[in-house]
Amino acid sequence: MSSAATHTASGPRPMAFVWALALVAVALIPWITGSTFHFHIAIMVCISAMATGGLAVTAWVGQLSLAHAAFAGIGAYTSVLLVTRLDLPVLLGLPAGALVAGAVAFVIGAPLLRLRGVYFVLITFALNELFRLVMLEIPEYSGGSSGIAGIPKLSIFGVTLSSYEAVYPFALVCLALVMALLVLIRKGQLGHRFGAVEENLALAEASGIPTAQIQTLAFTIGSAIAGFAGAFLAHYVGFISPETFGFQLSVSYVIMLVTGGRLALWGPLVGALFLTPLPEFLRGAVEYQHIIYGVVLIAVLRFLPQGLAGLPAQLARKGGRA
Amino acid sequence: MSFLIAQSLINGVILGTLYLLMAIGFTLAFGVMRIVNFAHGEFYMIGAFCALIGVTWLGLPYPVTLALTIVFAILMGAVVERLVFRPFRNDELSGMIASLGLAMILQHGALILFGPDPQAFPAMVSGVFKWGALIVPKSRALALGIGLVILLIFYLFLMHTRHGRALRALVQDQEVAAVFGVRLEIMYPLGLGLGIALAAVAGGLMAPLFGVSPFIGATPLLKAFIVVILGGLGSIPGAALAAILLGLIESFTSSFVSASAADIVTFALVIGVLLVRPAGLLGRAEA
C-alpha cells in the first residue's frame, strides 16, 4: 500500500468537471424516480460513504482499522443516550457522538499505533470484539442483546425529518461536509504529511515529521467521522444493539474502502456508491449479497489494486502504452 | 473446592486441545505464507459439514469420514492458494483483506447450500468416565483422544520428514530456504492445505459436541486469533503454550467467575500482550 499516494493530479480539469456533473446526476436519481426505495438506498449510500471516509483518513497514514464499527457504535450510543436520557436535540447528539468517538480514539491511539501492518489490524479486530462484549455486559446502557428500539428520528431545530424525502437532503449535506473535510485535509499540509508517513515512515520520521502524533491525529479524525456516521445511522434506522456494530460492519467498511481505492481521495465515495446499491438491485438474491461482496473484493484486490477510483488512471496508462 | 479445580483443569485441557488444532493451522499459514487467514474459521465449519455429510448422508464410519475430510481440506487448500492467495504473496495486508472476502464467500455459500438452521449431529459415543467426583463425558474424551493423535502425527511429520523440514525452514527464513532448494510452488499450497486440514478436522471432531451450522466458524477463528497473538504469529511452540493457557484461563474463569467474564479477561489479555510484546510470548521480534 505505497504506490498510489501521488493522487494530486486526478486528470485534466475538464475531466474533473465531467465527474462532478456525473456525481450530481447520480445524487438526483431518487428525486427523478421519486421512489422511496431509491431515497432509502441513497441515504444508506451517504451514511456508508461518510463512515468509509473516516476509515480512509486512517488508511492515509498506512493503517487499516478493523475497529471502525466500534467507533461508529460509540458515536451511536453517545448520541442516543444523550438524546433519550438528557433530552438533548438530535442535532447536538450527532457532533457529540463524533466528539466522544474521537476522544476515545485519541486516548487509545498512541499505544495502538505503535503496531503496524497486520498487527494493527489484529489489535483493532480484538478491540471491536471487546467493545461488543463490554456493551453486552452493560444492558442498562446498551439495551443488551435486544438493543435499543424507538430511537428519536433526526430533527433540525425542532422539525422532525420523518420521511425519506426529508432525510435525504440532510444526509447529502452531511456527506458534503465530510467530503469537504477530507478534501481540506488531503490538499493541505496535513495531507502531505499523511502521505509521507504512509509512504515511508522511517524517512518521514528522519525528515522531522512527528509520525506518532500524525498517525494519532489521523486515527482520531477518522474515528470521529465514524462516530458521526454511526450516530446518523442510529437516528435514521431507529434501532441499535451491540451486534449492530460488530465485526461484520467493520469488514463491510473495509470492503467499501478497498473497492473504492484505499488511498484515493474519492475512494470511499466510489466504494459506497458502487457496493451499497449493488445487492439491492439483484432482487431475490439477498443471500448472494455477501458472496458478491467477497468476489468483488478479491477481484478488485487482484486486478485493480488502486480500486475503482484508480480505474480511469489505470485505463489511461494502458491506452497510452498501446 | 479441590474437585472443582481438578474438573476445571480437565475441561481446560480439552478446550486447549481444540484451540491448538485451530491455532496451529492458522499460525502455519502465517509462518509459511505470511497470510493472516480470516477464512480459517470457515474451514472449521466446512470440516464439520463434511463430517455431517459423511456420517449421516453417506453412512460412512466416523474415522473414515475424518480421513476423507482431511484429504478434501488439503485439496481445497491447494485450490484456494492458487485462486485467492497466490497473487498476494509479498503483500501481507492485501492477502489478509482477500481472506476477509474468502470468508464471506464460504460462509454464505454454506448458508445457501445448507440453510441457516443448526443441524444435529448423531452422538458417536455416549456415557461418561468417572473418577471419584470427576466426570468426563466419553464424547469429549473421544474428541480429545483423536485430537491428540492428530497433533502427534502432525508433530512427527513436521519434525521428521523432508516436507516437514522444508516447512519449518520456510517459517524461519524464506529466502534462505528457497536458496537451499525448498520448492515454494509445492510448499505454499501444502502449508496452507495442511493448516486448513487441521481446522477442518477440528470441525469434524467438534461437530458431535456442538452441532453444525454455517455460523459455527466465528468462535474457533476468534480463539485461534487469541492463541496465535498470545503465542506469537508464526510460532508453533508459542501456539501450543498459549492454547493450553487459554483453555485453562477460560475454564477456570468460567467455573469461578462467569463465562462472559472469561471472554473479557482473554481479550484484555490479548490487547495487553499485543501492546507489551507484539511478537507474542514466544514469537520472534520483527525488524
| Widest Cα–Cα separation across chain B | 58
Answer yes or no: is pLDDT of A322 > 50.
no
**Taking CB atoms and an 8 Å limit, are A136 and B36 in contact across chains?**
no
Mean pLDDT for B6-35 is: 85
Structure confidence by residue, pLDDT tens digits, A41-59:
899 999 999 999 999 999 9
Q: Taking CB atoms and an 8 Å limit, are A290 and B107 in contact across chains?
A: yes
Q: Which of B36, B84, B222 sits opposite A118 (nearest CB)?
A: B36
B107 vs A contacts (CB less than 8 Å): 290
- Start-to-end Cα distance in chain B: 47
pLDDT band at A1 (very low <50, low <70, confident <90, very high): very low
Output the pLDDT for position A2: 43
Q: What is the DSSP letter of B213?
A: -
pLDDT band per the 50, 70, 90 thresholds, residue A7 = very low
In terms of CA atoms, which chain A residue is nearest residue B222?
Answer: A126
- Where does the pLDDT of residue A144 fall: very low under 50, low under 70, confident under 90, or very high at 90 and above? confident
Question: Given pLDDT bands bounded at 50, 70 and 90, which one contains residue A10?
Answer: very low
Question: Which of A1, A262, A298 is the best residue to mutate to test the B interface, defined by the most B CB atoms within 10 Å of its own CB?
Answer: A298
Nearest to A195 by CA among A4, A52, A50: A4
**Residues whose CB is less than 8 angstroms from the CB of residue B226 and which lie 6 or more positions away in sequence, other chains included:** A126, B242, B246, B266, B267, B270
User: Is A290 touching B (CB cutoff 8 A)?
Assistant: yes
Q: pLDDT band for position B42 (50/70/90)?
A: very high
pLDDT digits (tens, 9 = 90+) for B194-236: 999 999 999 998 888 888 888 888 888 888 888 888 888 778 8
Statement: residue A165 has pLDDT above 90 = no
Work out how many CB contacts closer than 8 A connect A with B.
Answer: 108
Nearest to B41 by CA among B233, B243, B197, B218: B218
B260 has a chain A CB within 8 A of its CB: yes
The predicted pLDDT at position A262 comes to 83
Chain A within 8 Å of B233 (Cβ-Cβ)?
yes
Residue partners of A279: CB distance under 8 A and separation at least 6: A285, A286, A288, A289, A292, A293
Res. A78 pLDDT band, cuts 50 70 90: very high
Sort strands A155-156 and B134-137 into parallel, antiparallel or unpaired.
unpaired
Contacts of B92 in chain A (CB under 8 A): 117-118
A182 Cα to chain B: minimum distance (Å): 24
In terms of residues, how long is chain A? 322
Whether residue A11 lies within 8 A of chain B, CB to CB, comes out as no
| Distance of residue A30 Cα from the nearest chain B Cα, in angstroms | 30
Interface of B with A in 15-54 (CB under 8 A): 36
B263 part of contact set with chain A, CB < 8 Å: yes
Q: How far is A261 from chain B (nearest CA, A)?
A: 12
What is the percent of chain A where pLDDT is above 90?
29
Tell how strand A159-160 and strand B128-131 pair up: unpaired
Per-residue pLDDT tens digits for A176-230: 999 999 999 988 888 888 888 888 888 888 887 888 888 999 999 999 999 999 9
Q: Chain A within 8 Å of B281 (Cβ-Cβ)?
A: no
Alpha-carbon distance A89 to nearest alpha carbon in chain B (angstroms) = 34
- Whether B154 has a pLDDT exceeding 60, the answer reads yes
Kindly report the backbone phi and psi dihedral angles of residue A240, in degrees, each rounded to the nearest multiple of 5, phi listed first.
Answer: -140, 155
Q: In this complex, do B100 and A255 lie within 8 Å of one another by their Cβ atoms?
A: yes
pLDDT of residue A3: 44
User: Is the pLDDT reported for residue A256 higher than 50?
Assistant: yes
Is residue A115 scored above 90 in pLDDT?
Answer: no
pLDDT at B283: 61
B116: Cβ contacts below 8 Å, ≥ 6 apart:
B213, B214, B215
B79 in contact with A at a CB cutoff of 8 Å? no
All three cell numbers of B74, joined, read 488439503
**What integer pLDDT is reported at residue A178 of this predicted model?**
93
The answer to whether the CB of A269 falls within 8 A of the CB of A46 is: no
Which residue among A1, A289, A302 sits closest to B93, beta carbon to beta carbon? A1
Q: Which residue has the higher pLDDT, A134 or A1?
A: A134
Question: For residue B286, what pLDDT is reported?
Answer: 47
**One-letter-per-residue 3-state SS of A212-251:** HHHHHHHHHHHHHHHHHHHHHHHHHHCCECHHHHCHHHHH
* pLDDT given for residue A52 in this prediction: 94
Do B109 and A291 count as a contact with CB atoms less than 8 A apart? Answer: yes
Of B84, B263, B267, the CB nearest to A298: B84
Burial class (CB in 10 A: 0-12, 13-18, 19+), A205: middle
pLDDT tens-digit readout, B52-89: 999 888 888 888 999 999 999 999 998 998 888 888 88
Are residues B78 and B91 in contact, defined by beta-carbon separation less than 8 angstroms?
Answer: no
Answer yes or no: are the C-beta atoms of B12 and B144 closer than 8 Å.
no
Note whether A204 contacts B: Cβ–Cβ < 8 A: no
* B218 alpha-carbon distance from chain centroid: 12
What pLDDT score does A226 carry? 95
- Are A73 and A245 contacting, i.e. CB atoms less than 8 angstroms apart? yes
Q: What is the mean pLDDT of residues B108-136?
A: 81
- Cβ-based neighbours of B61, under 8 Å, separated by 6 or more: none
User: From the CA of B185, how many Å to the nearest CA of chain A?
Assistant: 19
Asked if B193 contacts B80 with a C-beta cutoff of 8 angstroms, the reply is: no
Chain A segment 77-96 residues within 8 A of B by beta carbon are none
* Stronger pLDDT, A38 or A321, i.e. the higher one: A38
Q: How many CB atoms lie within 10 A of CB A150?
A: 8
Query: What pLDDT is attached to residue B230?
Result: 84
pLDDT tens digit sequence for B169-193: 888 777 788 888 778 788 888 888 9
Report chain A's mean pLDDT, rounded to a whole number: 85
Question: Which of A117, A118, A291 faces B104 most closely, judged by CB atoms?
Answer: A291
Cβ within 8 Å, pair A130-B275 = no
Average pLDDT of chain B is 84
Verify whether the Cβ–Cβ distance A291 to B263 is below 8 Å: no
B20 or A19, greater pLDDT: B20
- Strands of chain A (E only): list them: 155-156, 159-160
Instruction: Show residues of chain B in contact with A307, CB under 8 Å.
Output: none
The shortest C-alpha distance from A69 to chain B (Å) reads 16
Q: What is the pLDDT of residue A146?
A: 85
Minimal C-alpha gap between B181 and chain A (Å): 29
Q: Tell me how close the Cα of B143 comes to any Cα of chain A, in angstroms.
A: 28
